[in-house]
Chain A
Amino acid sequence: MSFEVVIGLEVHCQLRTRSKLFSSAPVRFGGAPNTSVVPLDIALPGTLPVLNGAAVELAIRAALATHCTIHERSIFARKNYFYPDLPKGYQISQYEQPLATGGYVELAASEGAARRIRLTRIHMEEDAGKSVHDGSASDTLIDLNRAGIPLIEIVSEPDLRSAAEAAEYLRKLREIVRAVGASDADMEKGQFRCDANVSLRRAGATTLGTRTEIKNLNSFRFVEAAIEREVQRQAELLESGGAIVQATLGYDAERDRLGVMRVKENADDYRYFPDPDLIPVVISAARIEAIRAALPELADARARRFAAQYALAPRDAALIAADRALSAWFEAAAKQPAQPKSVANWLLRDVLAALRERDAEIEHVKLAPESFAALVKLAEDGAITAKNARALLAELLWTGGDPASAIAERGLAAVSDAGALGAVADEVIAANAKAVASFRAGDEKSLNFLMGQVMRRTQGKADPAAVREILSRKLGGDEGVTP
């Protein structure tokens, strides 16, 4: 049986404000428990919420950057439920009239057109506190530092079709909210986390299957792994004739296992109603336009610009443009005399591989982009062989330095001089009679062996194209071989 995977994500993203959504308490990470709280955050009797205007501005930025429609009037509502780390017994969120609806996030396609993942809505809400179980005691401790921190919830349509695509969507979304300064989206600090709704249906079916919700995934790796697990579980269950039970699941990353948190018999009843302590959020069209005008260039627009301005393949342009810091580094390098296309190739192939290997970001690289471009140019011009240039790059990335002097110091300049290479070729031909014979008998591979011998004798500095040409000429050409 073949199934189609259907995934929708609800992403909780912390807005980058100095104080909380409805109180003056500072937003800090890692403070001692219950130190970032004022009376409102403890829900002391008589306290009232006052909306933080900065949070609204950041939420609007995120909504504009994802092509949403911003509503001129939105309403805060109370989501009522009892939980010890929810001080008021309700969370202030938005329900019937959210801040924004109907945007999308574009994913680069490996072939064909880019895929649009539609957004249902973006609304503002406050975070809850944290229950701490300290093992030793039977008591549960409550830390309210996080209570009231401003979040936006970004809800996607069930448009994602694989775990990998879900992770890609998340990466893209994270890059967008960071690019517009709406959020630092530091996943290790819980500033960007998601719930994944997963269901399967027979290929070609149009109705949705029963879904499960995996709660609180806080890394790209976990998102992908947890969804993979759940897809596998659902597929096995359906194939064996079983039925999916609607449930909320938790993912145990350490053991790569899903556990049922609770089974949903009916839809949860949060008794939403408009919060009478707050007035409607009214945003004028002029304010929306002013915020839009001040937005920085976004990844999609940047990708289109890179493709046009530097003649890059759309896929390459998108890969670089997706990361703001990487884009800046690329543009600094592309201004140099080297071909921008070569700079992009070297960047995508060698620099990104080096970053992945060290699990590092472009900010950690010591090599100046201008020097990187200079090295690419030297390789382009044949002043150093590609192989040596790559080895040198892998080193200079983490130390910095001027490529030309490094080449000179280490004697890595390419040897393409016909006279010098001819002499080495003669030596190799003389010393490898067997290989020469099999080449002449029609074994083309023997030429590669002989080339390797020349490269070895020149410590890899020989220009491979020149070597091939000289060897071919000496072995099969008019000149013949000097015995």
Chain B
Amino acid sequence: MSARTEPLGTLSELRAALDAGAVTSVQLAERALARGAELDARFRALLFPRRERALEEAAAADVRRARGEARSVLDGVPLAIKDCIVQAGEPATAASRILSGYVSPFDASAVARLRAAGAVIVARTNMDEFAMGSSTAHSCYGPARNPWDPERSPGGSSGGSAAAVAAGIVPLALGSDTGGSVRQPAALCGITGMKPTYGRVSRYGLIAFASSLEGIGTFGRSAADCAALLDAIAGHDPADSTSLPEPPPRASASLTGDVSGLRIGIPRDVLALPGASPAVVERVLAAADVLARAGAKLVDVELPHMRYGIAAYYLIATAEASSNLARFDGVRYGLRAHAPGGVTEMIEATRSEGFGAEVKRRVLLGTYVLSAGYYDAYYRKAQRVRTLLRRDFERAFAACELIAMPTSPEVAFRFDAKADALSEYLADVFTVPANLAGVPAISLPCGVARPEGGGSELPVGLQLLGRPLEDAAVLRAADAFQRLTEHHLRRPAP
């Protein structure tokens, strides 16, 4: 049941074809939507395709380009955004029943910037409900699937965005990363995914899960594509108090391919953590050697508090989530369940029917974490761990510019392998530290490995973490690696 429509190329390929007049924006949008529809039953990557409006916008982009008035490198390029990033006039459900029927009256700031740049948003993407999950199995629309093997998870929570890019439906997509939700699916789907410094991209219009940890991130098939997308959406936004005042990174302009003298920290203690697959660690170290041969210097660093990262992360994230999700009460918008009794019964019934099991689990955990008598033992202690972890990074980054480690401890897993919540949580061990510390991090393909239980080879992700605000340095190293290797060119069977 393969798709009739050919996969779309990378941003640079599409840009070249558009500028040469070999293809129109309307044709690209048509192809993206057609391929999305053809692969829907297999991957369930896209939600709410906006065919009519996307084609109108693409036609307008074609007119602009013909007049030589293209607004940016993204003008007329189709892309998709995660269902938790709102767009005016479009549904925004965060893959939750509780937001069924909800249409946002306003654009997220990142979406407004994309539209101003001329990008054509063709659809929304599937995700774990409210971004809670690492598998995209927790979606009210059914799971998204991995283009390399539909029996396996594309990762999560931005699994739909990653699958859409990996399957060649769109060249670029936006996701959100709260504890690895961009990087881990990028790793499992064999593409590039970037989580910028906390506050780099405005959170205005991102449906909140854990506000202090999350941000909007970018997916592409190369670091250069991620950089172009980041340049379009990064920068201070007065509508988000936590948005950084510093000027945006201008990442695309800094992709020199040069890594000479770059110091890359290898955290040996982290690589020895239980659960990391030896094959994955081996690929990551081999990738570091590639950069070393190109002039980078590998140095040993330690991140002693990283082993407490998962525990701290799940206390802070669930605490914030329990409060962020309180607004979904059936009073003003979204699902309202009918229950006998008064307003309290209505709110209870709405939340019981509207939230899925994983969301309920986390709301309950978070409510407990913040309760009187437990606050100090859990929430406050988790914040202390966060501070210690930040200091770990400060110390490590005194000796290096980047830190390399795996993105995911293993390659894409079968859906039935993560039946219990804890094993799904533990899979975030390498990604949550960047969120706790607010530092930029990228995941890029660095080879393939066979899953532990056997089967065909699947992509392995290399994670590079940078100093705060050094988004461009992270992208520069990732781009340099991709100039030296061909791992990112490997594609799943069409």
Contacts and interface: CB of A to CB of B under 8 A. Distances in A.
B371 A273 contact: no
A46 B92 contact: yes
A46 B208 contact: yes
Contacts of A47: 204
Interface string A75-102: 0001010101001111000000000000
Given A39-B106, A43-B327, A84 B241 contact: no
B99 A45 contact: yes
A45 B323 contact: no
A479 interface: no
B240 A48 contact: yes
A51 B85 CA distance: 23
Interface stretch (A105-113, A183-191, A274-282, A469-477): A274-282
A216 B151 CA distance: 60
B370 A271 contact: yes
B404 interface: no
B18 interface: no
B interface, over-half SS? loop
A183 to B, nearest CB: 25
Interface stretch (B160-168, B256-264, B329-337, B439-447): B329-337
A333 to B, nearest CB: 51
Interface string B109-124: 0000000000000000
Nearest to A273: B370
A49 interface: yes
Contacts of B343: 84, 140
Given A45-B99, A45-B327, A84-B331, A273 B375 contact: yes
Given A43-B327, A80-B323, A276-B320, A48 B371 contact: no
B326 A88 contact: yes
Residue among B94, B208, B241, B325 with most chain A CB within 10 A: B241
A43 B239 contact: no
Contact of A82 (B85, B105, B208, B326): B326
B238 A50 contact: yes
Contacts of B344: 82
Residue among A51, A78, A276 with most chain B CB within 10 A: A276
A80 B326 contact: yes
A50 B367 CA distance: 25
A89 B94 CA distance: 19
Contacts of B329: 82, 84, 89
Residue among B106, B323, B343, B371 with most chain A CB within 10 A: B323
Nearest to A40: B239
Contact of B333 (A44, A48, A140, A269): A44
A271 B212 CA distance: 17
Nearest to B348: A82
A307 interface: no
A78 B99 contact: no
B206 A276 contact: no
A46 B206 contact: yes
Contacts, number: 100
A47 B326 CA distance: 14
A4 to B, nearest CB: 31
Nearest to A42: B332
A408 B343 CA distance: 72
Interface in A269-294: 269, 271-273, 276-279
A89 B323 contact: yes
Given A276-B212, A279-B242, A45 B204 contact: no
A49 B242 CA distance: 10
A286 B331 CA distance: 45
A109 B333 CA distance: 55
Nearest to B319: A273
Contacts of A140: 343
A142 B343 CA distance: 12
A50 B370 contact: no
Given A46-B206, A84-B331, A279 B102 contact: no
Interface residues of B, number: 44
B376 to A, nearest CB: 12
Contacts of A48: 203-204, 239-241
Contact of B104 (A46, A80, A88): A46
Residue among A80, A140, A267, A271 with most chain B CB within 10 A: A271
Nearest to A83: B343
Contact of B211 (A42, A45, A276): A276
Interface string B137-178: 000000000000000000000000000000000000000000
A140 B326 CA distance: 20
A45 B104 contact: yes
A262 to B, nearest CB: 13
Contacts of A269: 371-372
A269 to B, nearest CB: 5
B232 interface: no
Interface string A201-244: 00000000000000000000000000000000000000000000
B406 interface: no
A87 B242 contact: no
B347 A87 contact: no
A98 B158 CA distance: 38
Contacts of B413: none
Contacts of B480: none
Contact of A279 (B241, B326, B371): B241
B327 A87 contact: yes
Residue among B92, B211, B331 with most chain A CB within 10 A: B331
Contacts of A78: 323
A259 to B, nearest CB: 18
Contact of B105 (A39, A142, A276, A277): A39
Contacts of B372: 267, 269, 271
B87 to A, nearest CB: 10
24 contacts: A39-B105, A42-B332, A42-B333, A44-B106, A44-B333, A46-B85, A48-B203, A51-B241, A78-B323, A82-B329, A84-B347, A89-B325, A271-B323, A271-B367, A271-B371, A271-B375, A272-B370, A273-B319, A273-B379, A276-B212, A277-B208, A277-B211, A278-B242, A279-B242
Interface of A: 39, 42-51, 78, 80, 82, 84, 87-90, 140, 142, 267, 269, 271-273, 276-279
Query: Nearest 6 CB-CB pairs, A to B?
Result: A89-B326, A276-B212, A271-B370, A276-B211, A46-B205, A43-B327
Given A45-B208, A51-B241, A273-B320, 17 more contacts: A42-B333, A44-B104, A44-B106, A45-B86, A45-B92, A45-B99, A46-B208, A48-B203, A49-B241, A50-B239, A84-B329, A87-B332, A88-B327, A140-B343, A271-B322, A271-B323, A278-B241
